[in-house]
Amino acid sequence: MALLTVLFFGLLMGLAARLGFLSVGRGCARLMIGAVFGLGFSLGRALPEWWGILVAIVAIIGGLACVSKWERRLGLVSPPVKGPSAWGGSEPQLTPEGESIRTFNHGEIAMGGPTYCDYLFPDGVLLQGLGSSAVFSSDGRYFAAPVPSRQSWGLLVLDRHQRRVYRCDNSEFWELDTLDLNSLSGRYSPLVDNSVRQTRIDELLQTADAANLVPVADLWLEPGSYPDNIAHTFERRSADGQQCLIGDIVLPPAFRDLPQPLEPLRSPRYAISVNGQPSALLMAANTALVWSTDQRALVCQAQEHTEHPSGDRYWLWQVDQGWRALPSPWVKREAEPSFYWHDVSGLDAHHVHIESYLDYPRPSLGRYGYRLDSIHSDTEIQAGHDAQGRVQVAEFQLTRMSIAMPLDSQGRRGESFIATQPMLDGICAHLIWLCDNNEGLGAYRCQIGDWQLPGRWLLDHRVSDCGRYLALLPFADSMTVATHAAVVDVKARCLLEGPSMWVARLLDFRDGLLSLAAIIGRLDQNLNGNALQRFNVPAPNVGSDPSFFHPDAQSRLFYTTVELQVSDSQLCRVAPWRLVDRPQVAIAEGDFIQPSPTHQDAAWLFGSETEYADSWVRANTPQLGGHLLTASGCALSDLAPSMIWSPDGRYLALTRMATDVTELCGSYRGWQLLLLDVQAHTLRVHSQWLGNRPLFEGFDDQQVLIRCFERDWEAEDDEDPGSIQSLPLALLLQLPVEQLVCQDGFWLRASHLHLAPYWQALALPAIHYFEHRSL
């Protein structure tokens, strides 16, 4: 009887599905499941002992599997509904009525994170910054979408009939699946567990912040989502009050069809007129405008009021001539430094002055690199070190200048000239174009007041922070680089010539120190540069074939920072290392030489950098990967800056930093202690890890004192004094000994003997410790 009941409901399911009564078929399926359980229990009671239990279990499991398969075959099982992804690509493009939805301004809340965009509905409703996983309700009345955030997500629901939005403080929905008359279903972060979330729509709306959409032209916007205090007119008068420019706002008849519908509100344009005479020009209310010294002319940036405007240009208005478009103020050359111009700053009888600047050519790896990155904003640079090697950070301002364009300019190269930023007594140097060489670099003459400098110069220049000096680069007929740098002393009216070198660009000029980007070699593309070999082809001597600097697919130029000190009547080259008299901190930057207490030996550490190895100034980040050379010939690699000599100069305590060593020392960054015996040429490595950012406090005949800190990086307001630990020297001398091997005059670790040629080719510091007789 139980078996017949199962078969009966199975036949009813098939008949209902055949006739299209799917809900009836699903009801029969539920009844059929009950019949399967009844069949299993009947078989269990009919058979003796444990056989009955086993047969009952098999019958129930097999029966349920058959019911499930029969449901899928008849099409009674609805697949689970999964809504659009929070990572974009499947935003709704049509309303339930079949009308198009426009989505634009796509973005990510983080790199590779969930996306957001703006939705413009066919009736003009504009919703901004909503997530990509959006859904409509089953009756088409509601539209819901998450509001992505780096902190706490939100949820927005739009009542399309009442044009009312509800912003819900609910961070449980990253992706939405369905929205019906009663509930909203979705999922939490797929990055966590992708678990299902569900809430009643009436409860959601009751606790939400509701607001009616506001009509703005042909759009419907949320209150506060657009500028609502736009000035409808503005006025600019000349200093004598005789001339008056008036701007009246111009708004398009329709906003919906614009690429950015809110652009007319965020950056409104105004039709301008002067003294009541209209023009065919539009300008922004905050555009710089200057009147001439006689107040009878003005210059500003504006665009023509046409159906397809071509962008802003400079326009000149004169009392007796009206409006006239001016040409581009400067004709660029690709080989010259990159720069842009923007606001007008002055207008006299013959020239309009336009503010401009030169880019900052920062080496790609900070102090050196294999390209010069063009930076077009003020930034931070390192401007020295304290006694323990910490970087001193300073603000860097781009080289300001102005373009002086004749009022009758035809837009030809050389008609405009460059005025530098003011120097002593407010005087500016003028760079006046003469000609271009075959490489596209311009030659300029330099005029400072009534003093015309001898020679021809490049466009690149830099005024010192004190205003007394002007750095220039000399022009060469067939080169893209300069053969040296020169400094003009405006106060003494003299020209200082720097030492010969291949100079690509000027970098900075502060505290009497001129920084240059010099080219000293090339590195093959198949080689990776390191501190022992930044380049494998040295640059030719100054005055040689300039083809060395032409683009080459097989190799790349190597740039390094060179500093020149202005002193008396000359420019002196500054050593690329500093001489220190105390142990350096773990975040110490740059190359340095630390002599032994007896001054019979010295340690030169060079090439250390942060683990990121980029151009950012990371003043608080530890350094690693340094190379060490002692005047006694010991050469080691992969070291941190912290080191200290023993009183007799025999031992040198060193540190090494490693990353991604959490399993070994409990921290991502870890430090080890090494002990170098420069007399016996041996190396000992301490087996235990030190604390964070070790700083040597002392080294005597009995012990080594090391101060360690809580953090593995140094905060600017860090008040952590650290803790000092003592390592007995006798215990350190009992560590396993690694004998260094002499190769080509250098004592190396056995595993580093292949580096001997690089050490041999290394240029030694120009200091008496490293004279050849010392090695």
Q: For residue 775, what pLDDT is reported?
A: 42
Task: Identify the bridge partners of residue 446 per DSSP, sorted by sequence position.
Answer: 431
Percent of all residues in the chain with a pLDDT value above 70, rounded to a whole number: 90
- Please say whether the beta carbons of 690 and 708 come within 8 A: yes
* Average confidence score pLDDT of the chain: 91
Phi, psi angle pair for 509, to nearest 5°: -150, 95
Question: 3-class DSSP state for residue 735?
Answer: coil
Same domain, 33 and 115: no
Same domain, 592 and 705: yes
CA dihedral 318, 322, 323, 324 (to 10 degrees): -80
Phi, psi angle pair for 74, to nearest 5°: -85, -5
- What amino acid occupies position 476? A
In a domain, 473, yes or no: yes
Q: For residue 569, what pLDDT is reported?
A: 82
Question: 3-class DSSP state for residue 23?
Answer: helix
Count of beta carbons in the 10 Å neighbourhood of residue 111: 5
Identify the band that residue 83 occupies on the pLDDT scale cut at 50, 70 and 90.
confident
DSSP, residue by residue, 490-546: TTTTEEEEPPP--EEEEEEEETTEEEEEEEEEEEETTS--BTTBS-SEEPPPTTS-G
Task: Identify the bridge partners of residue 362 per DSSP, sorted by sequence position.
Answer: 373
Same domain, 543 and 582: no
In a domain, 196, yes or no: yes
pLDDT over 80 at 500, yes or no:
yes
The predicted model gives 483-492 an average pLDDT of 96
Q: How many domains does the chain have?
A: 5
Identify the band that residue 190 occupies on the pLDDT scale cut at 50, 70 and 90.
confident
pLDDT over 90 at 89, yes or no:
no
pLDDT over 50 at 509, yes or no:
yes
In a domain, 446, yes or no: yes
Identify the band that residue 125 occupies on the pLDDT scale cut at 50, 70 and 90.
very high
Same domain, 109 and 10: no
The predicted model gives 175-191 an average pLDDT of 85
Same domain, 169 and 210: yes
Same domain, 468 and 364: yes
Same domain, 384 and 475: yes
Same domain, 563 and 606: no
pLDDT over 80 at 66, yes or no:
no
- Please say whether the beta carbons of 231 and 285 come within 8 A: yes
Q: For residue 371, what pLDDT is reported?
A: 96
Which range has the worst mean pLDDT, 170-179, 561-570, 646-655? 170-179
Q: What residue numbers bound the domain in which 536 lies?
A: 358-573
Burial class of residue 226, CB neighbours in 10 A (0-12, 13-18, 19+): middle
Which range has the worst mean pLDDT, 82-96, 521-535, 729-743? 82-96
In a domain, 347, yes or no: no
Q: For residue 152, what pLDDT is reported?
A: 87
Q: For residue 774, what pLDDT is reported?
A: 43
Which range has the worst mean pLDDT, 466-470, 501-505, 771-775? 771-775
- Please say whether the beta carbons of 505 and 371 come within 8 A: no
In a domain, 423, yes or no: yes
Which range has the worst mean pLDDT, 301-310, 355-364, 471-480, 486-495? 301-310
Phi, psi angle pair for 112, to nearest 5°: 80, 10
- Please say whether the beta carbons of 144 and 134 come within 8 A: yes
pLDDT over 70 at 456, yes or no:
yes
d(CA 504, CA 633): 35
Same domain, 584 and 709: yes
In a domain, 408, yes or no: yes
How many degrees, rounded to 5, is the angle at CA 44 between CA 38 and CA 50?
155
Identify the band that residue 4 occupies on the pLDDT scale cut at 50, 70 and 90.
low
pLDDT over 90 at 393, yes or no:
yes
Q: For residue 233, what pLDDT is reported?
A: 96
The predicted model gives 283-289 an average pLDDT of 94
Encoded tokens for 697: 């406090």
pLDDT over 80 at 556, yes or no:
yes
Q: For residue 566, what pLDDT is reported?
A: 96
Question: What residue has token string 């009950």?
Answer: 34
In a domain, 94, yes or no: no
The alpha-helical segments, DSSP class H, found in 137-283 are: 201-206, 263-266
628-679: per-residue pLDDT in tens?
999 999 999 999 999 999 999 999 999 999 999 999 998 999 999 999 999 9
Same domain, 587 and 569: no
* Region for 112 from its dihedrals, namely left if φ exceeds 0, alpha if ψ lies in -120 to 50, beta otherwise: left
- Please say whether the beta carbons of 617 and 391 come within 8 A: yes
User: Which of 543, 573, 603 is the last residue before a domain boundary?
Assistant: 573
pLDDT over 50 at 261, yes or no:
yes
d(CA 631, CA 582): 18
- Top-confidence residue, 671 or 76: 671
Task: Identify the bridge partners of residue 566 per DSSP, sorted by sequence position.
Answer: 571
Encoded tokens for 147: 């509001």
Q: For residue 43, what pLDDT is reported?
A: 62
In a domain, 90, yes or no: no
13-48: per-residue pLDDT in tens?
667 666 666 566 666 667 667 766 666 666 666 666
User: Which of 507, 541, 573 is the last residue before a domain boundary?
Assistant: 573
User: Which of 74, 92, 117 is the last residue before a domain boundary?
Assistant: 74
pLDDT over 50 at 520, yes or no:
yes
Same domain, 139 and 65: no
The predicted model gives 464-477 an average pLDDT of 96
Same domain, 600 and 555: no
Q: For residue 716, what pLDDT is reported?
A: 83
